[in-house]
Structure 1
């Protein structure tokens, strides 16, 4: 595997295209030469992959010759043998990065939740991350060693609310947008997807509360949501077209409301049969639990009363989006679950402000809900997230150098997963070195369910942290008073973890 840097490709404006016929191959490709590979023997490949028809076309014969020249080098033959027979991400892992990413931290919250949770084959990470944050306060309040909140309870109500939000959005956009417009297409793409955002959790807890998992455990469809999601998506797309047609035909408000009510009943029927009937938000449940002193106790309260210890409404969502000005309030249009409730809102800050807030939260003993692009430069089995983990440049002799802003602009990266921060290791200057991450992929992932995130990885692939307002300065808190900059639904900041 060669380690020489690749030769930059000329910008389109710099490419000189000859108008007159070119007699020889060498002359023909002098105009546009792409030397991606520099053999260790310092020999130069003279065969371009571009065809004689011009620099717009690929030549099969020239490409074949290029690969032959490529494999004359023993390093590339070794690379072929290794990279074609196994996962390149595994082959190219850097041992030194793995060795330094240890589960050793000098600043931790005093109590981590247990047991490690498992979202299984569903996209409920945001619900798991939020309930993993909530349960720590509940475990401390009720003196419980091990405890899990019902993720399925919030999942049920989120699906109901998202279905209603979708149908209202379809009615709201029917007059001004065609069905194939970008906005309506984005709405139709995922009417009731599993993912979500912090403000959506706030809406659900404020309206429905929370319950222990023992009172509403996962059904098979909660753990394996794809079939249920496909059915709901098909039904809602069909219903969306029906509502648009009714508006076009001049149907009255009463008829439209009646049709929508029938559609929502279909949604609730599907969810009830797949997930089971959930506890009522305003009715008391009886919960038996065992304290750390092995005393059995009983609590009788409503889901809304049970949620009072979470203080969910007071937390704020910081993001680091270098495409937009810092200390700026952002929101995403047409994104939400509970109609006319709290919108998805972010305070955009510099990455150092976000990290300082996270460190301050851990010093307070508080866990942190955060959103990131977990699939980048990570190993789920080892539980490591590190920008130095995989050396693609060494293996493939290519240069990879996009900035965080460029990755967002091109769709290369966005929030894909929510997890929880519970510890950080600081150097002598108080700077973060690595972070401890509680995941929701069971104890088989990482170190008994916990990951290590390098500080460099946090800079590049962490986008969001939900914190107490007390851990940021007044200039950041004052941003909440701004009129939010509205991002379109398809913006990367509209991605649902």
Structure 2
């Protein structure tokens, strides 16, 4: 084992000497201490790059607001659906119930969780896969396929049929309760398998009671999903419409001319082998649902496919690392927004592969591409519909520069019809299964 060495006073003196040897150090230090690193390093030329005009733009309405929750993945998925409805039925500000989708995700994810706990009960408690299941029990986060699986199984309802509650707007209380329940249940299931040698029937009874507890808490926190409802709306031409006694699945299949199985998750993860299909079953939320699969390709494929879909007047679900080089209040995502390394005299810039490998980069947020500006056929900025309400950005819409898109976008959901034959062949191949601790998780 390598012996650690203590810092010496001589080294500390050398650090000091290096600092004072730079004439600009005191000036920069004063600015940073007074204003902070980001404000002191902001590029004053951002307005030239982040002009909010786009040559291709899908008509969309008011933005939604996920509040204090991690439901961005479901908001972005429902945004793509509601835009289909708005265009087809001339209802610009139509909104689908995020609460309805989140309720069923909690139920289905709990069912998957209990089965995964039982399936891995023979592994040590701190096996990395077991650790992942226990640590992430009913987290808010998710992927496009999680939302698609719920929608295909349970359908959708308008927002007014099952509006958000206090607990969907701020999920901390109910998440804490569910986390504690699930972790206790995980220990009980593992002990039943390993210490009591419980039969399959006994385990099924235990799981049934645990699921009943989860359902009870979910109903108390979110409300119980409707079995049927009446669709009523007045379109943008002021014409009244009513369709009574619809089930959520009836509504989905009747009003949404879309098959979510036709969509592919295109990924640009350069720390993984390119032109290859990957799967991550540890993040699937519905048994026999749409599996989480990534078609990993060079970035230009992801970008070109997104442009094709926008040109056909269809928005694009995208997964990004939104915490990087972003100004939330002004709604700006620009890779040159803050020149922190230049200000501080240090080099901590990494390429996309290294950021993923070191976990400095991750898919932290899902949003919806609604426009792009092309100059001589090449994009220089993109329009983003966020789910942070209308007090951020331009009434909730953000502008994203091309270099930010390239550096910090990892995923885009694309209809298979836009894929060329070579990509379709890869999509239809056998995926390589990724572990729970992979950088794409």
For the aligned pair, the TM-score class normalised by the smaller chain equals over 0.9
1:11-26 equivalences in 2 (<5 Å): none
| Shift of residue 72, structure 1, vs aligned partner | 6.2
Aligned to 1:365: 313
> Is 1:296 the equivalent of 2:240?
yes
For residues 13-52 of structure 1, the C-alpha deviation after alignment (integer angstroms, 9 at most, x for no partner) is: xxxxxxxxxxxxxxxxxxxxxxxxxxxxxxxxxxxxxxxx
Aligned to 2:304: 356
C-alpha contact (below 8 Å) 1:382/1:447 kept by paired residues: yes
Match of 1:414 among 362, 367, 390: 362
Say which structure, 1 or 2, has more relative contact order (CA 8 Å, 6+ apart).
Answer: 2
Matched residue SS, 2:206: helix
| Shift of residue 82, structure 1, vs aligned partner | 1.5
| Aligned-partner Cα distance in 2 for 1:85–1:439 | 31
Structure 1, unaligned runs of 5 or more: 1-53
| Aligned-partner Cα distance in 2 for 1:314–1:254 | 38
* Stretch of structure 1 that moved more, 433-442 or 311-320: 311-320
Match of 2:102 among 122, 144, 155: 155
| Shift of residue 123, structure 1, vs aligned partner | 0.3
> Is 1:87 the equivalent of 2:36?
yes
| Aligned-partner Cα distance in 2 for 1:94–1:225 | 36
| Shift of residue 288, structure 1, vs aligned partner | 1.4
Match of 2:76 among 106, 129, 144: 129
> Is 1:453 the equivalent of 2:400?
yes
Bigger-Rg structure (1/2)? 1
Aligned to 1:186: 132
C-alpha contact (below 8 Å) 1:373/1:413 kept by paired residues: yes
| Shift of residue 461, structure 1, vs aligned partner | 0.7
For residues 342-378 of structure 1, the C-alpha deviation after alignment (integer angstroms, 9 at most, x for no partner) is: 2101111110011000110111111000000000111
> Is 1:237 the equivalent of 2:183?
yes
Matched residue SS, 1:63: helix
Match of 1:260 among 207, 211, 215: 207
| Shift of residue 180, structure 1, vs aligned partner | 1.2
| Aligned-partner Cα distance in 2 for 1:251–1:62 | 62
> Is 1:168 the equivalent of 2:115?
yes
Matched residue SS, 2:5: strand
Aligned to 1:78: 27
For residues 367-404 of structure 1, the C-alpha deviation after alignment (integer angstroms, 9 at most, x for no partner) is: 00000000011111121111111101221101133111
Matched residue SS, 1:82: helix
Residues 258 and 105 of structure 1: is their aligned pair in 2 closer, same or farther, counting only changes over 3 Å? same
1:290-439 equivalences in 2 (<5 Å): 290-300=234-244, 301-308=246-253, 309=256, 310-428=258-376, 430-439=377-386
Kindly tell me the number of residue pairs found equivalent between the two proteins. 435
| Shift of residue 73, structure 1, vs aligned partner | 4.6
